[in-house]
Copies of this chain bind each other. A is one copy, B any other.
Amino acid sequence: MAHFSVAVEYAIHCLIWLADQPDEVALSIGEMAFLQGIPPTSLAKIFPKLEKACIVSSEEGIRGGYRLARKPEQITFLQIADAVEEAKPVFDCREIRGKCGLFGGNVPSWAKRGTCAIHAAMIRAENAFRMELEKTTLSVAIESYRRASPDSFKRHVDIWIGNQLESRSTRSSPKTKNRGTGQ
């Protein structure tokens, strides 16, 4: 199994869609799930984490849903991954150096002095990994997607989202919380 679950990929793709909306538009979990062909149940678990990390904000009501809470250039892949995966480490040192059977349960002080050389190497590798993810902001991915998709598709998306916002009022009462509802 990969270090990052598919939730990181889902999250970044959703944030790209959110970044392309005008300020007045918030997308629901159901809308984002449809736009990416992914399960809304997964997104319903991911978005509270992104909100807790101040990457998105939510609004309730008929026009409610999620928006980016910061500019795309202020959101790094590292922040997204840490929010979704809750800062999962690469290596979890068990301090095996103190468990030698010859110690007979009486661990000498020298055995666990300083950082274990293995752990230190893993920390260096993890830092290199995190620094690279810190360098990449959401705006880099957005730029790439904007270049790839033709204007005709962008218009198709705008029309579909417009229709969704229109149809929400026929499906929801003013008091309905819309963050997690369908398309």
Contact = CB atoms under 8 A, between A and B. Distances in A.
A57 to B, nearest CB: 22
A96 B10 contact: yes
Interface residues of A, number: 62
Contacts of A174: none
A121 B96 contact: no
Interface in A51-108: 77, 88-94, 96-97, 99-103, 108
A156 interface: yes
B140 A102 contact: no
Interface string A15-26: 000000000000
Interface SS majority for chain A: helix
Interface in A147-176: 148-150, 153, 156-157, 160
B2 A92 contact: yes
Interface of A: 1-4, 6, 8-10, 12-13, 34-38, 77, 88-94, 96-97, 99-103, 108, 110-111, 113-114, 117-118, 121-122, 124-133, 136, 140-141, 143-145, 148-150, 153, 156-157, 160
